[in-house]
Amino acid sequence: MTDQPLKAAILGASGYTGAETVRILRNHPNVTPVAATGNALAGKKLSGIFPHLRGKHDLDVIKAEDVDWNGVDVVFGCLPHGTSQDLIETLPAHVKVVDLSSDYRFRDADLYSQAYGREHIAPERTAKAIYGLSEHNGEQMMGSNLVACPGCYPTAILMVLLPLMKPMIIDRDAIIIDAKSGATGAGRGLKEGNLFSEVTEGLHAYGVGTHRHTPEIEQELNLRAGLNDIEVTFTPHLIPMARGEHVTCHLRGDVDSIHAALSAAYADQPFVSVLPLGSPPPDTRHVRGTNDCRIAVFKDRAKGRVIVIAVIDNLVKGSSGQAIQNLNLMMGWDQALGLDALLPLFP
Amino acid letter, residue 202: G
Which partner in ligand NDP, ligand X2W, none is near 223 (CB below 5 to 8 A by kind)? Answer: none
338 close to 324: Cβ distance less than 8 angstroms: yes
Shortest spacing between CB 156 and ligand NDP, in angstroms:
11
Quick one: which segment of 79-87, 200-208, 260-268, 302-310 binds ligand NDP (CB under 6 A)?
79-87
Quick one: which segment of 14-22, 138-146, 166-174, 327-335 binds ligand NDP (CB under 6 A)?
14-22
Closest residue to ligand NDP using C-beta atoms: 15
Give the number of residues written for the chain: 347
Binding-site member from 9, 35, 98, 152 for ligand X2W (CB under 6 A): 152
The contact pattern for ligand NDP, residues 308-337, with x = CB under 6 A and - = no contact, is ------xx--xx------------------
Catalytic residue status for 152? yes
The answer to whether residue 24 forms part of the interface with ligand X2W (CB under 6 A) is no
342 close to 288: Cβ distance less than 8 angstroms: no
Shortest spacing between CB 84 and ligand NDP, in angstroms:
6
Shortest spacing between CB 316 and ligand X2W, in angstroms:
13
Shortest spacing between CB 216 and ligand X2W, in angstroms:
7
CA distances (Å), 344 to each of 23, 101, 135, in order? 15, 25, 20
Q: Report how far residue 176's alpha carbon sits from residue 215's, in angstroms, rounded to the nearest whole number.
A: 14
When the beta carbons of 67 and 164 are compared against ligand NDP, the nearer one is 67
CA distances (Å), 280 to each of 84, 241, 251, 256, in order? 40, 21, 19, 17
DSSP string, 286-333: GSTTSS-EEEEEEE-SSTTEEEEEEEE-TTIIIIIHHHHHHHHHHHTS
Helix or strand run (H / E) with residue 235: strand 233-238
Q: Which of residues 184-203 bind ligand X2W (CB under 6 A)?
A: 185-186
Q: Report how far residue 219's alpha carbon sits from residue 197's, in angstroms, rounded to the nearest whole number.
A: 36
When the beta carbons of 15 and 215 are compared against ligand NDP, the nearer one is 15
Which residues are known catalytic residues? Answer: 152
Note the residues at the interface with ligand X2W (CB under 6 A).
81, 101-102, 151-153, 181, 185-186, 236, 238
